[in-house]
Structure 1
C-alpha cells in the first residue's frame, strides 16, 4: 500500500473517531443543558416567594459539593379536590442531615401531638402551618419554621412543604415500591375521593396505593384503626425506599421527569443556589445511613402525648447529627409529654 493510501485510510479513521467524540461531547452538552434547564425551572417553582434570588449559572468543573449539616422541617399537605382548602399538615417530620457522614435521621411528629406555645393557643401539631398560611401564605414557610424552632429550642435551618401528589407521582415514576403492608386497610370518604383498600402482606404498590398506605388512620369498613406511631413508621419506610431508588436513577428523561414532579409539588425556603447544587449532585449527597427515631406516644383524646425522655433523646440525636449541641436549650415544656 502506498504512503498516500495509508494516509487516506488513517485520515478516515481519525475523522471517524473525531466525529464520534464530537457527537459525544455534543450529547453531554445537550444532557447537561437539559438538566440545567429542568433544574432551574423546578427551582423557580419550588422557592418560596420571599427568598427568590437570581439564579447563577453553575460553575464549570466544580468537583466538590459544599453542604453544611442541618436540621429541616418537612411537612406534607393534602390539596386534593374536596379537601376544602384545608392546609393542615398530615405529615410532619424533623430531619437532620450530615453530608460528611452521609447520614440522616427522621423524627415523625404525631399530627395530633399537643403543642403549648406561649404566644399562640394550644393546638395539635398539624394546626400551625395552616394558621400561618391563612395569616400570610407568602410568609407561611419561614414563620412556621421559626415557630417550631423557637417552640422546641431546636436550630431548624429550613422548611420543605410537599403536596401529597409528589409522593404518588414519584412512586409511579419509580415503577412502584415493594411494601410489607402491616394490616388490612379499608376506608372510603366520598367527600374528598379517598378510597383505601389494601390487604396485609408483602406486595408491589403503585403511587396511589403507597399514598393510601402512609395516610391510613381509621376505618369505616371493619378493619383495625392505625396509630400515629404506625403511620410514622410507614412514612419513614417509604422515604427510605424512595431515596434508595432515586440514588440509582439513570438517564436524562428519568431525572427530567423527577424535576418536573418536584417543581410542581414542593415549596421551600432553601436558597435557589443551594437547591440547584443539591439537585445536580443528589447521587453524591444521597444519605447512605438512614436512622428512624421512635418516640413512644399515648392517645388521650383529643391529643397525643409523647414520652418526655424519648423526645429529649430524639431531639438531641438530631442536634448532634447536625453538629449542634442543644440539649440544654430544648423546650420540652411546650410539648404534651408523659414520663
Structure 2
C-alpha cells in the first residue's frame, strides 16, 4: 500500500508539471505566430505553419456577388447579433502528448484540459482531468482518461481530434468547439533555438525518474540553461534526492518568468532572426481542428483576446489501482463552475457519475 501511495503521489506531481508546461507552450505558440503575422517579414513561414497546425489549411475564397443595400433596422439587428456572437464563450479541449526520449513514445494524452474562454471579460477557466481518471464510454467501455485520444488516433486518423472532443463534450455535457493538441518537444526546442536562457535558480533542484528518463539536476544561482534544463526548471516540484520541494505557486511563478524571458529574447535583434525556425517548430508540434481562417482572425486580434484572468480548476481524486476516482461532490461542483458561463441546462448528475465510474 505504501509503495502504491508513493507511486500515485509521483504521478500526480508529473501531471501538475505537464499542466504548467502545456499552458506555457500554448500561450507561447499564439504569441509567436501572432508576432510573425504582425511583422509581415515572416508571412509565408506563418502561412505554412498555420497550414500544418489547422484542420483546413488554405481554403478557396468565395466569389463575392454584388452588395445590396441593407435597411437601417436590419443593419442594427445584424450589428447586435454580431456583438452577441463576438462575446459568446468559446470552448476548447487542450491536450498534450509527450514523445520525449524515455516517455514511451505513445499517443496517450498526459494532459487533458477542457477550457472555457469568455471574450467579454477575457476570463479563462481550465479544468484539469487526471490522465488516470476512470471514465466510461458506451462505445469503447471503461478506460483511463488518457486512452481515448490514442484510440481515435489509431482507428480514426483524420477524425481523431473531432472524435476526442466529441467524446469529452458528451462526458462533460457541453459542446466543445475545438481541440488543440501540443507535443511537449516544442518547448525545449524553442529554448535551444534561442540559444538558452539566463535564469537565477532559487534553490537546488534534484529529481530522478528512470521510468520516463526524467533527470532534474539544477544548482542554486544565476546560470545559463539549455532547453532541457529550462524544461526541468519549469517542471520541478517534488524531490527524491534530498533537495527542498517547490510549491505549485512557486512553479507558476517560474512558468511566468520563463515565458517572459522567451518573449523578451524574441523581441531582441538576435531573437527576431530565429523566428522562422521557431515557427517551423510550432508548426510541427501543434495540431488543431480550428479552421485556418478562424486561427488567423484570432491571431490578428490576440492583443484584445489575450486572457486577463485565468483559473486552473483541479479535481479532488483518490487513487485505487488501476484508476483515479473523482470525489463525487467535488466533481459536480467543479463541473458546474466550468459550465456556468455557457448558460447550459443543469447537469444530469446520475449520468455524469456513471460516466466517471462513480
TM-score, normalised to structure 1, is 0.69
Tell me, yes or no, if structure 1 residue 37 matches structure 2 residue 44: yes
Residues 171, 177 of structure 1: 8 Å contact kept = no
Partner of 2:179: 159
Please give the alpha-carbon distance, in whole angstroms, between the structure 2 residues aligned to 1:326 and 1:246.
42
Partner of 1:24: none
Partner of 2:133: 113
Q: Within 5 Å, give how 1:57-68 maps onto structure 2.
A: 66=86, 68=88
Please give the alpha-carbon distance, in whole angstroms, between the structure 1 residues aligned to 2:234 and 2:343.
31
Residues 247, 282 of structure 1: 8 Å contact kept = no
Deviates more, 1:250-259 or 1:85-94: 250-259
Residues 170, 261 of structure 1: 8 Å contact kept = yes
Please give the alpha-carbon distance, in whole angstroms, between the structure 2 residues aligned to 1:193 and 1:159.
28
Where structure 2 has 5 or more consecutive residues not aligned to the other structure, the ranges are 1-36, 63-82
1:72 Cα deviation from its structure 2 partner: 0.7
Tell me, yes or no, if structure 1 residue 325 matches structure 2 residue 344: yes
> Secondary structure of 1:290's partner?
strand
Residues 236, 251 of structure 2: 8 Å contact kept = no
Please give the alpha-carbon distance, in whole angstroms, between the structure 1 residues aligned to 2:267 and 2:113.
29
Tell me, yes or no, if structure 1 residue 312 matches structure 2 residue 352: no
Residues 132, 140 of structure 1: 8 Å contact kept = yes
Tell me, yes or no, if structure 1 residue 186 matches structure 2 residue 216: no
1:207 Cα deviation from its structure 2 partner: 3.7
CA shift in 2, pair 1:177/1:92, >3 Å: farther
Tell me, yes or no, if structure 1 residue 298 matches structure 2 residue 303: no
Tell me, yes or no, if structure 1 residue 275 matches structure 2 residue 318: no
> Secondary structure of 2:326's partner?
strand
1:88 Cα deviation from its structure 2 partner: 0.7
CA shift in 2, pair 1:201/1:250, >3 Å: closer
Residues 55, 272 of structure 1: 8 Å contact kept = no
Residues 200, 221 of structure 2: 8 Å contact kept = no
Please give the alpha-carbon distance, in whole angstroms, between the structure 2 residues aligned to 1:242 and 1:316.
33
Count matched residues.
Answer: 291
1:286 Cα deviation from its structure 2 partner: 1.1
The RMSD of aligned alpha carbons is 4.0
Structure showing greater Rg: 1
Residues 94, 106 of structure 1: 8 Å contact kept = yes
Partner of 1:129: 149
1:317 Cα deviation from its structure 2 partner: 2.3
> Secondary structure of 1:134's partner?
helix
CA shift in 2, pair 1:81/1:222, >3 Å: closer
CA shift in 2, pair 1:53/1:31, >3 Å: closer
TM-score, normalised to structure 2, is 0.66
